[in-house]
């Protein structure tokens, strides 16, 4: 199993609106991708910024590529992400999952 993490930052005042946007765009696409084993959305408010960490679980690199394209290290963005995000981080991180509950 492979874990994929992506990090993004919005203004805290837009945090709830961005979560709604995620629930309409990326989250459904993750869930509909064959080989996706789960998606978690974590949020931390720090002052006037909201940090989002998306953790997705995948059965294989091929499954990740079905979602992300051939360059699975490249972050995937949606049309209105620029309206919310303070920076578009270009890379995601992958981890081999060694222990599961």
Query: Each residue of 64-83: pLDDT tens digit?
Result: 999 999 999 999 999 999 99
Cα–Cα distances in Å, from 72 out to 36, 83, 94? Answer: 14, 24, 9
Rg of the chain taking only CA atoms, in angstroms: 13
Q: Could you give the CA distance from residue 86 to residue 99 in angstroms, rounded to a whole number?
A: 34
**What is the pLDDT at residue 62?**
97
Residues 6+ apart with CB under 8 A from 28: none
* pLDDT tens, position by position, 12-46: 999 999 999 999 999 999 999 999 999 999 999 99
**Mean pLDDT across the stretch 50-54?**
98
**What is the pLDDT at residue 101?**
84
Q: Where does 2-96 sit in CATH, by number?
A: 3.30.70.100
């Amino acid at each position: 199993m492979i874990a994929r993490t992506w990090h993004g930052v919005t203004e805290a005042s837009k945090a709830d609106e961005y979560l709604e946007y995620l629930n309409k765009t990326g989250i459904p696409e993750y869930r509909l991708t064959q080989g996706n084993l789960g998606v978690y959305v974590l949020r931390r408010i720090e002052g006037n910024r909201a940090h989002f960490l998306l953790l997705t679980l995948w059965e294989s690199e091929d499954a990740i590529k079905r979602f992300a394209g051939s360059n699975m290290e490249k972050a995937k963005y949606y049309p209105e992400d620029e309206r919310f995000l303070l920076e578009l981080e270009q890379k995601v991180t992958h981890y081999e999952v060694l222990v599961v509950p």
